[in-house]
A and B are shown apart, each in its own frame.
Chain A
Amino acid sequence: MTDPSESDRRERILRERADRLALTPTTAERELVVEVAIVLVGDDQVGVPVRYLREIVRVPPITPLPGLPEGLVGVALVRGEILSVIDLALWVGAKASKQRSCLVVLDGPSGPLGALVDKSLGFRSIYADELATDLDVSAGSDRSCVSRRTRDLCAILDTGKLLSDPRICVGAARPERDAGDPRDPPPNPRGQTP
């Protein structure tokens, strides 16, 4: 027969353990993966790592150029500097939209790049425990520059990959590769585009 006091003790231990497991970890205990600006692209929320973010501005007049490949929209003047503009939807596997109201200006090692998005939603810190582990990030596209998704399906932009993708270049231009930031989210082993 089990000692009642021993039974109570076990029950107490189990209850305490259950309570502890049920607690949400405090911010201090959580592992920050990346801080992002959240933008809306089609129906998708995309997180743009702030490390590469110069600014988000209203879409300026864009001039199309002859012979640009798919994904490159044209050139625009932003604060005295002419930069080329891409449609981010194509690079994150999102649905194309005609509601582009913002231009995300990314700062890469070779220079700036403008990315058209629908809307700017704010900023967010993404922690390790928010990352989904079983989601395919390629969205069926070999162009996808999404490194991870959160459990609430926010796609984290692999900005380093985007800025070093030869497909954003025309002519002999080649992007410089960035050494990367140790704080960038590690790629998801599943579904990561090679």
Chain B
Amino acid sequence: MKRKYKITRSKPQTPTSSLPDIIFMLLFFFMTAMTLKTKPVDLEQHLPQAEELKKSENKNLTTYIHIGAPKDKLKYGDEPLIQLDGHLASPEDVGPYILKKQARIPEYQIPQMTVALKVDDDAAMGLVCDVQQELRKVNARKIIYVAAPKGKTSDQARRKSL
């Protein structure tokens, strides 16, 4: 009698009602801390280092252009290439691509549109200049050369060194 009584009462229960909250919290945390990477970049992206960095102002108004030597050298050769939204392109494709992006944002925000150039530091200036000429033609003049802070290597750089 005594023993039975004891067993029935000792039922240690951990409160589980807060588990959904914890899970949601984790979910939100990862949602915010993660940067969405929509398309993989097939180019080398070892960004140069610089000191006088400024933040790009508005992420929604930023268009990325990647330039660098392809990772898959057997398939694409080792000359630097341009990548726009996941597909490789030539300098002539930059203009239409920017116009397409401009069409998607409200007209009054177009002057604030920034083009972020993510260029591998081994790439030659020739291709970068070609892209800049194309950008001037479509009046997308606000550009930012994405760089890593001095002393710190960018994520891509770290990955490359591993």
Determine if chain A interacts with chain B. no
Q: Chain B residues in contact with chain A, CB under 8 A?
A: none
Q: Chain A residues in contact with chain B, CB under 8 A?
A: none
